[in-house]
Amino acid sequence: MDLYYGAQHNLKDLIKTHLFIICCTNSGTTFVKNALATSKNTWNLFREGQHIFGFAGPSGIVLKAYKLWTTEGLIDKFTDTKNYNWEKIKIAWYFQAFSKNPEASVFVEKSPPFLLIVEQLINQFKNPKFLFMVRNPYAVVEGIHRTTWGKCRNVFTKEEYLSLAATQVINCLKIQKQNLENWGDYGTFFTYEQMCEEPEKVEGLIKDLVPEMEDLVLRQKLKVKTYNEELRNMNAQQIERLTDENIEQINKIFLPDKDILDFFNYTLM
């Protein structure tokens, strides 16, 4: 199927709804983003919005993710409105967007650091909507540790980096809880596990939020990173990679914030 590009269309007028996927990294959001891109009613980006050429704001690409979520002061940098030029960002995003339909009216974006700036997105975009999402935190820690420690192995031991990954995940869950409490009315909430086990139900939640996406299908085969398969729950195989010592170390980070896990119906292992 032919693709249409924002550079050739007036997206400023065409787009009626901006849909943001709000979630910690390594939580299944790439699958969601790719599924949304199969809808004929969405405009999408080939990369995360924070990595698009011309993005006029702080980007996680200039630092390792753990620094943002675990280093004092960086969250202030990422949440300061003065560090974003949203008009330039919109121009860059709209110019580089693609769609299956030149009349599509929903713009989709996913950048993990935007977990921090939901209020800014509400204030800056026309008809903002949000998909708030979480995933089993042990699986997320394993995924972050396995896929990114190699880039930091000259700085941290495996054990040190595991603690940083666990800190990143629990901090993201804290922020997501605040998002739901403050901005939940602007979106819908579901877990990775619900999406995998009851995809049609989650489709319904998304369609209720954004009726234009009546053709959305989650139960389909999609290429995501190194995988090209139908939606399935990968938690068990990821958690199996964690040793008893790994779990004990993660629990030291999670235990003081057990109430956050309880809020999302996750339990200490």
Choice between 141 and 62, residue whose per-residue pLDDT is larger: 141
Q: Tell me, which fold does domain 4-263 have in CATH?
A: Rossmann fold (3.40.50)
Q: What is the pLDDT of residues 119-166, one digit of tens each?
A: 999 999 999 999 999 999 999 999 999 988 877 777 888 899 999 999
Share of the chain above pLDDT 70, in %: 96
Would you give the DSSP letter of residue 136? -
209 Cβ contact list (under 8 Å, min separation 6): 19, 129, 131, 187, 188
**DSSP-assigned letters across all residues of 85-129:** -HHHHHHHHHHH-EES-TT--EEEEE-GGGGG-HHHHHHHSSSEE
Q: Could you give the 3-state DSSP secondary structure of residue 28?
A: coil
Q: What is the pLDDT of residues 225-240, one digit of tens each?
A: 766 778 899 999 999 9
What pLDDT is stored for residue 73 in this prediction? 77
Residues 56-74: what's their mean pLDDT? 73
Q: What is the pLDDT of residues 167-207, one digit of tens each?
A: 999 999 999 999 999 999 999 999 999 999 999 999 999 99
Domain range annotation of the chain: 4-263
